[in-house]
Structures are given as structure tokens and as C-alpha cells.
């Protein structure tokens, strides 16, 4: 059997409305952070994988060529990957496959997005075009609308309440307030969150992720050379992928993502673990309801039981299964192509004990990331493990 693949370094740009920084500057910031914190030089890198989800946000086509050049890595092989909001983990999986096949030894993955050069309305329309252009988009549905349908169905079937959804937003804002890389570093009270302006009923402002600029980077190598770069490589132990129908109307159920269930099953099997063995997770909370159904789809809770766990604060950093203790997409921010890579950077830092003390999950050795494209058309689940302990 071929040898394993590890993450040996991570870097992260500050997420936010980064007026002065373009796509290439954000990518540069993330990779500079990686180079400053990892024992790596350019000549160690065999190839790059660049994840950028949208072309229309800042008008720049061919982002992989632009970013590769900005990084001074032109000449090396590169590819661009795109799987909507699951672009970042699609990049990590592509790099993993390149190394696992023996084609490359060390691959740099960069996920980046510059979303705020256009208005929120324009960004909403651009993202809505990832819905079915024949049967959904013309009728006005956009992403807050898709997840509002999911929230309404979950409320009707399982008695999910406004308080449960708002409690997820409150938690994620709390942790973003402790995360120096987050877009909004402001706590919100439950009252504020419950009473916020409607965006797509039943979802309000504090149920929605942010439209952000940002970038993140990870360096993957084959295990036999990993120690050249760091004393503490983080192994990629499990990978699972799933998909679903393009149109929501074709789904059997609106209260779950079948693609996430499939991806989780595959990742757990590959890693030889179960949900009970995971010490913390970053899940794709593009809307608060998405975090709730992820808790159920990933097997952390039975269907209909995640809501009570939220109210009991079981997903805080010292709870039963810490979830999104970096602030999540909700408040750390959601620059589409960067998100999946940012999740991996966060899990790696958590496993190394390197995050801010107020959000550190003590003694974590195994983490999971769950990255969703659109409303479940792509789902990637990755399991990471610190194997030196
Ligand atoms: C909810 C949403 C429409 C608000 O956008 P907007 O009305 O243009 O908001 P603005 O950018 O003008 O910001 C107005 C204020 O609200 C805050 N804000 C914006 N979005 C916010 C959010 N999602 N949560 C909390 N606060 C938010 C801003 O920080 C700003 O605060 P300030 O006045 O103190 O600076 C936008 O955040 C959104 O569309 N989110 C969902 C993104 C999405 O669909 N992603 C894809 C997922 S699949």
C-alpha cells in the first residue's frame, strides 16, 4: 500500500471586507503565513492546487495562473479546482490524490476568494446562478432561500425553534470574537440574534454567513518526507465525498443532506473510526440550520436530537463535541474558495494546541471538517489526526 499523506504547514489571511487587498494579495498573505511558520522553501514544492469558486466577483479569469505567478511559483504545475463552496476541500483532495498516486511529493493548496468588490445584491445573484438556471434561478430563489426551505422543513418535522437556530449564531459569534482571523469579532446576545431583521424567513441576519474576502493555504506531503518540514505532521486519515440532485425539488427529504451522510460514512470507514471518536469538527454553517443538520448528518446526534444539544451548549469548546469554535462561516466568514482550506488550517492548529486559549479544545487528537457546495450538490468530509502522541 502507498504511504500516507500529511499536512505539514498551514497559513491564513485575515478574513473580512479587505478593501485594500485583491485576490492575489489575499493568497499571498495566507502563503506568507505558511512560509513564516513552516520549515519550507519554494524549491520543496512540486505543484500547486488553487481553489477559487467564482469568476465574477472581481472579474479576474484564470485565477490559478495569477496566484501561482504572485507566489513566484510559475513554472511549477498548477491546476484550478472549483466545487462551489466546497472548492477548498476539493483542492485538498486533489493534492492528496496527486501525492498518493506517486505523481508528486509536496503540493501547496491555496483557497481564495475576493467577494466584496461587488455589492451584496450582485454577489447574491452570482451565487444564485449556481442554482438550476432553468428551473430555480428564474423564479428568484437564492441561497438564503434554499436554506430557508430546509429550516422550515426541519422546524415542521422536528420542532426546531427560533431559539435553537439563534443559539448557533450566538455561539459562532462568541468564538469569532476570540479569533484574530475572523471577519466579525463581535459577540451577539440571544435577544439580538432572535430579534434580527429577516433575510429569508425563517432565517434572519444572525442565521446567515458573511460575504467575505480571504484566503488560506496548506502544504501536503507524503509521510516519509513530512518530518523535514515539521515535528508534528497532521495525517489525513479519512476522505469522503457525496453529491445530490441539482434541484431541491428532486430531493426525497429537505431535512438532511444525503451527500453529507454518504461522505461521512466513507470518511469514517477510511479512517477506521466512528463519530464518537471525533474530538472536534468544523462544519459548513453557511446558515445556522446547516450546522444543525450537519450535526445529524455526521452522526454526532440522531435526527431531531441536535437542537437540544445546541441548547445544552454541547458544541462549545468544552462540550461533548465542539463545533465551529473558530466562529464558523457565520462569523469567521465565508470567502467561498478559502473556506474548506480554512477549516483544515483551524483543525490542524487545534490538534497542535496553537489556537487562542478561550477556544482551544484541550487534548484533541482527531478532527473532522465538513464542507458543502451549494445546497448539498457537493459534500466533502475529511478526518485529520495527530499521530505523534
Ligand atoms: C445577510 C446579508 C444579505 C447581509 O448583507 P448586507 O445587507 O449587504 O450587509 P452589509 O454588508 O451592508 O452590512 C451591514 C451590516 O451588517 C453586518 N452584516 C452583514 N452580513 C452579516 C451577517 N451575515 N451576519 C451578521 N452581520 C452581518 C455588517 O458587518 C454591517 O455591520 P456594520 O454596519 O456594523 O458595519 C449577507 O451577509 C448575505 O447574503 N449572507 C449570506 C451569504 C451567502 O449566501 N453565502 C453562500 C452560502 S451557500
Closest CA to 168 of 14, 301, 283: 283
Tell how far the Cα of 205 is from the centroid of ligand 1, in angstroms: 7
Looking at the DSSP assignment, which residues form a beta bridge with residue 243? 378
| Atom nearest to 146 CA in ligand 1 | 48
Q: 3-state DSSP call for residue 369?
A: strand
Identify whether 317 is a catalytic site residue: no
**Which pLDDT does position 388 carry in this prediction?**
81
By alpha-carbon position, which residue is closest to atom 25 of ligand 1? 206
Rounded Cα gap, residues 254 and 248, in angstroms: 8
| Beta strands 47-51; 78-81: pairing state | parallel
Q: 3-state DSSP call for residue 381?
A: strand
Helix, strand, coil shares, percent, the chain, to 5? 40, 20, 40
Q: Which of 28, 85, 208, 286 is catalytic?
A: 85
Q: Which residues line ligand 1 (CB under 6 A)?
A: 85, 120, 124, 127, 143-144, 184, 199, 205-206, 208-211, 286, 334
Tell how far the Cα of 270 is from the centroid of ligand 1, in angstroms: 38
Give the contacts of 43 (CB within 8 A, at least 6 positions apart).
none
Q: In order of start, what are the domains of the chain with their CATH numbers?
A: 5-118+211-226 (3.40.47.10)
Instruction: Locate 380 and state its grid cell.
Output: 466533502
**Which pLDDT does position 387 carry in this prediction?**
80
C-alpha distances in Å from residue 321, one per residue of 179, 233, 261, 275, 364: 19, 23, 18, 10, 11
- pLDDT average per 10 residues of sequence, the chain (389 residues): 93 98 98 97 97 93 96 97 98 98 98 98 96 95 97 98 98 98 98 98 98 98 97 98 96 97 98 98 98 98 98 98 98 98 98 98 98 98 91
**Which pLDDT does position 152 carry in this prediction?**
98
What does DSSP assign to residue 328? I
Amino acid at each position: 500500500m502507498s504511504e500516507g499523506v500529511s499536512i505539514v504547514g498551514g497559513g491564513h489571511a485575515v478574513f473580512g471586507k479587505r478593501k485594500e487587498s485583491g485576490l492575489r494579495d489575499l493568497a499571498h498573505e495566507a502563503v506568507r503565513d505558511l512560509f513564516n511558520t513552516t520549515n519550507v522553501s519554494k524549491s520543496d514544492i512540486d505543484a500547486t492546487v488553487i481553489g477559487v469558486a467564482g469568476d465574477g466577483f472581481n472579474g479576474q479569469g484564470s485565477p490559478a495562473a495569477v496566484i501561482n505567478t504572485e507566489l513566484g511559483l510559475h513554472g511549477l504545475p498548477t491546476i484550478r479546482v472549483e466545487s462551489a463552496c466546497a472548492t477548498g476541500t476539493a483542492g485538498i483532495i486533489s493534492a492528496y490524490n496527486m501525492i498518493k498516486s506517486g505523481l508528486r511529493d509536496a503540493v501547496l493548496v491555496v483557497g481564495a476568494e475576493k467577494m466584496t468588490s461587488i455589492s451584496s445584491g450582485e454577489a447574491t445573484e452570482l451565487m444564485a446562478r449556481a442554482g438550476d438556471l432553468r428551473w430555480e434561478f428564474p423564479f428568484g430563489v437564492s441561497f438564503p432561500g434554499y436554506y430557508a426551505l430546509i429550516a422550515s422543513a426541519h422546524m415542521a418535522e422536528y420542532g426546531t425553534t427560533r431559539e435553537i437556530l439563534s443559539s448557533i449564531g450566538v455561539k459562532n459569534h462568541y468564538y469569532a470574537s476570540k479569533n484574530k482571523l475572523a471577519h466579525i469579532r463581535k459577540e451577539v446576545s440571544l435577544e439580538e440574534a432572535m430579534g434580527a431583521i429577516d433575510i429569508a424567513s425563517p432565517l434572519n441576519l444572525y442565521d446567515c454567513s458573511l460575504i467575505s474576502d480571504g484566503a488560506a493555504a496548506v502544504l501536503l506531503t507524503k509521510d516519509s518526507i513530512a518530518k523535514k518540514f515539521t515535528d508534528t505532521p497532521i495525517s489525513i486519515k479519512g476522505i469522503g465525498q457525496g453529491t445530490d440532485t441539482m434541484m431541491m425539488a428532486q430531493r426525497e427529504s429537505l431535512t438532511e443532506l444525503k451527500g453529507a451522510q454518504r461522505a461521512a460514512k466513507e470518511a469514517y470507514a477510511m479512517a477506521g473510526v466512528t463519530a464518537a471518536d471525533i474530538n472536534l469538527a468544523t462544519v459548513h454553517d453557511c446558515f445556522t440550520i446547516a450546522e444543525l443538520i450537519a450535526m445529524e448528518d455526521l452522526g454526532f446526534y440522531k435526527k431531531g436530537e441536535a437542537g437540544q444539544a445546541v441548547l445544552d451548549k454541547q458544541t462549545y469548546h468544552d462540550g461533548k463535541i465542539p463545533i465551529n469554535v473558530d466562529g464558523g462561516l457565520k462569523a469567521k466568514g465565508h470567502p467561498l474558495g478559502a473556506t474548506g482550506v480554512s477549516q483544515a488550517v483551524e483543525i490542524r492548529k487545534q490538534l497542535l494546541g496553537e489556537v487562542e486559549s478561550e477556544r482551544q479544545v484541550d487534548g484533541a487528537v482527531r478532527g473532522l471538517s465538513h464542507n458543502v457546495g451549494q445546497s448539498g450538490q457537493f459534500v466533502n468530509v475529511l478526518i485529520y489526526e495527530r499521530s505523534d502522541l
